[in-house]
Amino acid sequence: MYYVHPAKEEVDAWHDLIAPSNTSAAAVWSWDSFSTALKATETFTPPSADIQSAAAIQYAQSSHGNTGKLQTTFPG
């Protein structure tokens, strides 16, 4: 399975579309609340140093969760 976090701009665009008709639903679709929920669902395992070097992988550990049920990592 391929797992990608959406960009802040994408999530905020959903917020902006929903906000005029349903402010309580729109609050859930802000980047801050969505990102917090996303992190809560995953446990991220960083790639090994060899894989990270060979594939020039860059990531921000703070963008990932470490207590959720969904196990995520980079291939390799």
Report if residue 1 sits inside a domain: no
With CA atoms as reference, report the closest residue to 39 among 12, 20, 67, 19: 67
Q: pLDDT value at position 68?
A: 96
For residue 35, being part of any structural domain is answered with: yes
Instruction: Answer yes or no: is 2 within a domain.
Output: no
Which two structure tokens, joined as six digits, stand for 46? 């960083």
CATH number where 47 lies: 1.10.1220
pLDDT at res. 64: 94
Token look-up 């196990």 returns 71
Contacts of 5 (CB under 8 A, 6+ apart): 38, 63
- Is 57 within the bounds of a domain? yes
Question: What range defines the domain where residue 59 resides?
Answer: 8-72
Task: Give 44's strand partners.
Answer: 72
Overall number of domains in the chain: 1
pLDDT greater than 80 at residue 1: no
The per-residue pLDDT for range 14-67, each reduced to its tens digit, is: 888 888 888 888 878 889 999 999 999 999 999 999 999 999 999 999 999 999
User: Could you tell me if residue 45 is inside a domain?
Assistant: yes
Structure tokens at 3: 């797992």
**pTM of the prediction?**
0.74
On whether residue 3 sits in a domain, the answer given is no
